[in-house]
Amino acid sequence: AIVNALYCKRWGHGFLPCVLSQEDMQCICQGRHFAWAKISLLTWLFTPSHCDQRVRSVFNASIGEHVRGDFMRSCDYVVWIDGDAMVLDHDVCLERYVGGEASDKALVVAEDMSYSDWVNTGVMFIRTDSSWAQELWAATWSNAPVRFHHAPFWDQSGLCAELGARQEFTPGVLGAVPTRTIPPIRPWFSWQGGSMHKATRHMYIFDSASLQFAN
């Protein structure tokens, strides 16, 4: 978190860390795998009225409703980065990822690094003025197949399932299990010969190496 905070300070971005106790994590995840805390937090940030009162109480105590309101009104994008990820090149500005063909998209992400899900949720750029993006997180929480509450890849697979239901794309794999869909003419993943960058109606998807990588 310190590395990411320093990056945000250098470029003048707001930084909103959220570190919760195990008890609070259990509360906001409501019996699901702790990876779902991400969706719970994003739901509270964008549409707090869709959150259970207990969930709102946890985030109000940890962050504060006034901070949430000021934060959401002051930024064009919420950039989510997983707790086990950090910015490596502090000379690269975030605007690089939301310009050009991505400038009118509500959600900017990268494809997954393995044959697990079509996109990876470790780093996400979410437009704050998009009603589509605002409602996405509560819908992902409510509509996710039950098997993803506890089975890989949890929130990520749940989000991909919701994007498929919204006809944003038709994923050929969910939670590392192939779906019974007609495969695209060209492979989805860049590392299988697919396009390096892909665009849907509301999304822009980078190849995995351009936005993030794992060892």
Each residue's pLDDT tens digit, 150-208: 999 999 999 999 999 999 999 999 999 999 888 778 899 999 999 999 999 999 999 98
Whether pTM exceeds 0.85: yes
Cα–Cα distance measured from residue 21 to residue 35, given in angstroms and rounded to the nearest whole number:
14
Sign of the dihedral defined by the CA atoms of residues 151, 154, 158, 161, in that order = negative
3-state secondary structure of 40: helix
pLDDT of residue 13: 96
Each residue's pLDDT tens digit, 26-69: 999 999 999 999 999 999 999 999 999 999 999 999 999 999 99
| Confidence band of 214 (pLDDT split at 50, 70, 90) | low
Whether residue 136 contacts residue 162, with contact meaning beta carbons closer than 8 Å, is answered with yes
Please give the single-letter amino acid code of residue 107. L
pLDDT of residue 23: 98
According to DSSP, the β-strands at 203-206 and 107-111 are parallel
pLDDT of residue 29: 98
Q: Which residue has the higher pLDDT, 180 or 71?
A: 71
Whether residue 175 contacts residue 116, with contact meaning beta carbons closer than 8 Å, is answered with yes
Is the predicted pLDDT of residue 215 greater than 60, yes or no?
Answer: no
Is the predicted pLDDT of residue 142 greater than 60, yes or no?
Answer: yes
How far is C-alpha 89 from the geometric centre of its chain's CA atoms?
A: 21
Task: Report percent pLDDT > 70 for the chain.
Answer: 99
pLDDT of residue 187: 93
Whether residue 46 contacts residue 73, with contact meaning beta carbons closer than 8 Å, is answered with no
Nearest to 190 by CA among 168, 167, 213: 213
Burial string for 120-151 (b: 16+ CB within 10 Å, else e) reads bbbbbbbbbebeebbebbbbbbeebeeebbee
Please give the single-letter amino acid code of residue 119. V
Residue 74 φ then ψ, to 5°: -95, -10
